[in-house]
């Protein structure tokens, strides 16, 4: 398993687990980051941060610190 911040642009992966807590965890769950959710890595920002992801049809930008709290598996 790797974390979402390490996923390559263009890859489609699945959420395995969330390591965030509190309000950040609630926000991630509200964005659709639940176990088994498919995520497509769309593009990285100019300096590699933030990264834009397609999560359940919505384009969501996450900072590296946030993405590192999401473990993924290859789809």
Q: What is the pLDDT of residues 18-55, one digit of tens each?
A: 999 999 999 999 999 999 999 999 999 988 899 999 99
Q: Bridge-partner residues for 13, per DSSP?
A: 39, 74
Give dist(CA 47, CA 56) in Å, integer: 25
Q: Can you list the domains of the chain with their CATH numbers?
A: 2-74 (2.30.30.90)
Give dist(CA 60, CA 48) in Å, integer: 15
User: What contacts 29, CB < 8 A, 6 or more positions away?
Assistant: 18
* pTM of the predicted model as reported, rounded to 2 decimal places: 0.90
Q: Are 55 and 33 in contact (CB under 8 A)?
A: yes
Instruction: Return the SS3 of 44.
Output: strand
* pLDDT of the residue at 48: 81
Closest by Cα among 18, 19, 9, 2 to 52:
9
């Amino acid at each position: 398993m790797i974390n979402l911040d390490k996923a390559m642009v263009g890859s489609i992966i699945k959420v395995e687990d969330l390591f965030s807590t509190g309000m950040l965890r609630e926000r991630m769950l509200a964005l659709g980051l639940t176990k088994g959710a498919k995520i497509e890595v769309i593009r990285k920002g100019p300096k590699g941060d933030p990264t834009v992801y397609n999560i359940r049809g919505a384009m969501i930008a996450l900072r590296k610190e946030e993405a590192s709290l999401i473990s993924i598996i290859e789809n």
